[in-house]
Structure 1
Amino acid sequence: MRVTRYYFAGVGLSLFFAACVPLNQFRELEESNRQLNDKVESLSSENEILVGRTNELKELADRLKKQVAELAADTLRKGRDARICRNDLNKLRKEYDDLLAQLRNQTGAGDTEELLAYLQKLQEELQNREDALIEAERDLKLRKEELNDAMARLKAAQNDLEAKNQRLFELEQALAKKDSASHALRKAIADALTGFDQSQLNVHMKNGKVYVSMEEKLLFGSGSYQVSAEGASAVRQVARVLAENKDINIMVEGHTDPVPYRSGVLLDNWDLSVKRATSVTRLLLENSGIDPSRVIAAGRGPYVPLVANDTPEGKRKNRRTEIILTPRLDQILNILESN
């Protein structure tokens, strides 16, 4: 009796660790998958941010274009004013020189005083004109510098706008490609499963993933993890589609109801869900076109129900195996990393 007890205790420990290893692997892979999905889910918000930033850059570009146009017009006005000042100054200088020459030729004292007074007034006006010309030229230089700076900022804004538009286009294309691939995959699998009882399976999309949900009745007998002939045929049809779609990650999840279960080599519902997921995974991998590195097998036990377990119908729906398909996001992640 003592040997027998030790034997069953050893078997129990072995099964316990056998169940824990897949769970630990699943948790690590699920965390990696969750991080990847978080990046994908952030794309829509990032897309909105890019659209908003693009609109801001367009508004900035419009404002800068208007500012450049105003500065260009103002520069032309300042240049014209400077030329007028320069012409007036030249005229005043000529008039001043003429009067100075005339003064030198004058002999009358009265005329000389009058000419000197006028000459003094003219010299003051000439100085004012020179000061105005210097100020106009200084203002013109400042306006030209502002114009050059505005044009440089406009060029930078246009380049930034073009880069944002290109990145936005690439992200939209990648997201559209991913969505298109998911829809095409869902249709292909649904078409492959048309010959089976549709009340026992469901192919749908959620959060960008394709879910192939098969009820217990289609795949297993009560409390069993041996796949039935009909269930094996359905899984092989799914495998055929997945073998043709290489860029798909595959997770097989087993689910049970919460009714306590313990029989033979199985410890509990969680153990049963793990073994059912593993059985379906082995059937998928019979198809040599599926790389095992693409596949995760996990048991969720009774902890992720679809509906409440307060009716026989609810428990029936919760006893299921799900094949969850996620398109690889390499292209989208490359775009994010490169930008």
Structure 2
Amino acid sequence: MKFFRYLFYSIIAGFFFMACVPLNQFRELEEANKQLSDKVESLGSENEVLQGRTEELKELADRLKKQVAELTADTLRKGREARKCRNDLQKLREEYDNLLSQLRNQTGTGDTEELLAYLQKLQEDLQQREDALIAAERDLKQREQELHDATASLDEARAELEAQNRRLLELEQALAKKDSASRALRKAIADALTGFDQSQLNVHMKNGKVYVSMEEKLLFGSGSYQVSSEGASAIRQVAKVLADNEDINVMIEGHTDPVPYRSGVLLDNWDLSVKRATSVTRILLENSGIDPSRVIAAGRGPYVPLVSNETAEGKRKNRRTEIILTPRLDQVLEILENN
């Protein structure tokens, strides 16, 4: 199903850029993320196999239905043939008994020889019919066993297919619930930021995540990592929404343009992006009640631009800080693991 395709790209952005956490904590987060990524990749492969198995089961069920129908018709035909053989055999036996009785009462030699010849022929015919009846009954028994086996296989395939469909439905419902939560979160944040200059911020969804992208002008002065009062107000509005949504993981990413920058404190643009992400993180957590373990701060430097840096307008758009919100996928992963 198509709804699985974007699931595995929406877990958590990589930790392979400089994060604003202590080194030990960063390594722990990096290792946890690697384990989760490996787990999701493995579950994704298993889920593709599961979908393939579902299609195979559907095809098998169709084949078994056809086979059961053919075997049922063949069994009925063999049954009619067996019943006809029994009736014919019964008639031949009755005729044989009558002729034998006549022969015993017959006194004329010519008549006796004629009856003996006919009786011999009748006995041979009777034997052939008995052999045909035995073969028909054996064939009928074989067809009945094949029909029984095919019906059992069909029932098993149907049960497995129904179980597969139930699990897929559970997963679809979990994904729909996650998407609904993401849309509601996007709307809540967009509503909370309506009082700010919309040309300097953007709230949108991508790969199941909610992105709150704020341009440099809204948050910082040129080359600075001190958040402006207006920027701090916007961040606090986002924090209010996140405080009411505990099942959301948060990543703050700082981005710069590629123009070289260095000061007495900052080493380069990457250092600037890290400190900007840290500054936003501190305001986001300040008196908000948000669990810090849900939050990661990372600097991306100039390496993930939105648009080309060939123009001043492009550089302006690329100088941004993004708050990336990822609904937790515990329910979805649990369903996949159980399958």
**Fold-level match, TM-score > 0.5?**
yes
Could you say which residue in structure 1 is the equivalent of 2:224?
Answer: 224
Could you say which residue in structure 1 is the equivalent of 2:280?
Answer: 280
Could you say which residue in structure 2 is the equivalent of 1:7?
Answer: none
Could you say which residue in structure 1 is the equivalent of 2:296?
Answer: 296
Rate the CA distance shift 1:143–1:123 in 2: closer, same or farther, 3 A: same
Could you say which residue in structure 1 is the equivalent of 2:211?
Answer: 211
TM-score, normalization: structure 1?
Answer: 0.86
Question: How big is the shift at 1:76?
Answer: 2.0
SS of equivalent residue, structure 2 residue 286: coil
1:245-324 equivalent positions in 2, closer than 5 A: 245-324=245-324
User: Deviation digits for residues 57-84 of structure 1, max 9, x if unmatched?
Assistant: 4454344233323322322222222122
Q: How far apart, CA to CA, are the structure 1 residues paired with 2:289 and 2:105?
A: 114
Could you say which residue in structure 1 is the equivalent of 2:154?
Answer: 154
- Kindly indicate whether residue 86 of structure 2 is the aligned counterpart of residue 73 of structure 1: no
Rate the CA distance shift 1:39–1:126 in 2: closer, same or farther, 3 A: closer
Could you say which residue in structure 1 is the equivalent of 2:88?
Answer: 88
Aligned residues: 321
Range with greater deviation from structure 2 (288-297 or 235-244): 288-297
Range with greater deviation from structure 2 (118-127 or 97-106): 97-106
Q: How far apart, CA to CA, are the structure 2 residues paired with 1:17 and 1:173?
A: 34
Could you say which residue in structure 2 is the equivalent of 1:193?
Answer: 193
Rate the CA distance shift 1:119–1:316 in 2: closer, same or farther, 3 A: same
Could you say which residue in structure 2 is the equivalent of 1:101?
Answer: 101
Question: RMSD in angstroms over aligned alpha carbons?
Answer: 2.7
Query: Mind listing any 5+ residue stretches in structure 2 that lack a counterpart?
Result: 1-17
Q: How far apart, CA to CA, are the structure 1 residues paired with 2:112 and 2:181?
A: 101
> Radius of gyration: which is bigger?
1
Range with greater deviation from structure 2 (58-67 or 292-301): 58-67
User: Deviation digits for residues 266-294 of structure 1, max 9, x if unmatched?
Assistant: 21111111111111111111144311110
Q: Which has the higher helix share?
A: 1
Question: How big is the shift at 1:161?
Answer: 1.6
1:308 partner letter: S
Query: Mind listing any 5+ residue stretches in structure 1 that lack a counterpart?
Result: 1-15
Greater relative contact order, per chain length (Cα 8 Å cut-off, separation 6+): 2
1:212 partner letter: V
1:80 partner letter: R
Q: How far apart, CA to CA, are the structure 2 residues paired with 1:17 and 1:293?
A: 14
Could you say which residue in structure 1 is the equivalent of 2:6?
Answer: none
TM-score, normalization: structure 2?
Answer: 0.86
Range with greater deviation from structure 2 (27-36 or 213-222): 27-36
Contact preservation (8 Å) 1:240, 1:287: no
Q: How far apart, CA to CA, are the structure 2 residues paired with 1:173 and 1:330?
A: 14
Q: How far apart, CA to CA, are the structure 2 residues paired with 1:227 and 1:39?
A: 41
1:133 partner letter: L
